[in-house]
């Protein structure tokens, strides 16, 4: 998430923030520090990415553990298990890669 994206969201909710050169001049009653706003937004985004990746991993694991049919492991069962890995993993990787700068 970029600084501009964070500031745009802050504006959308009418959040007051300030960018202060002198760290000794501040009042929380006047708003929040820009650095703190950005750090908070990044923590929220990281938590949401983690939740999304875990949801994808759950789907992948459920598909990988697809039960055998009464007659044993069928082509359909093998297909579902294969799809669980090949389709889910790129999404999981893409979500996790968003953590990287």
Looking at the chain, list the stretches that DSSP marks H as alpha helix, in order from N- to C-terminal side: 3-12, 34-64, 75-97
CA 57 – CA 91 distance, rounded (Å): 9
- Structural domain harbouring 75: 3-97
Q: What is the pLDDT of residues 11-51, one digit of tens each?
A: 888 877 776 665 555 444 456 777 778 888 888 888 999 99
For 11, phi then psi, to 5°, come to -65, -40
| Cα(33)–Cα(16) distance, integer angstroms | 9
Q: Please give the pLDDT value at position 5.
A: 82
Is the full-model pTM beyond 0.75? no
Domain count within the chain:
1
Residues 6+ apart with CB under 8 A from 74: 68
């Amino acid at each position: 998430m970029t600084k501009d994206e964070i500031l745009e969201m802050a504006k959308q909710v009418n959040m007051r923030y300030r960018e202060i050169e002198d760290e000794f001049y501040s009042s929380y009653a006047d708003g929040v520090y820009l650095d703190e706003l950005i750090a908070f937004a990044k923590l929220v985004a990281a938590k949401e990415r983690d939740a999304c990746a875990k949801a994808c991993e759950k789907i992948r694991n459920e598909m990988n553990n697809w039960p055998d049919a009464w007659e044993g492991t069928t082509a359909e069962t093998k297909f579902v298990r294969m799809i669980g890995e090949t389709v889910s993993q790129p999404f999981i990787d893409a979500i996790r890669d968003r953590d990287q700068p």
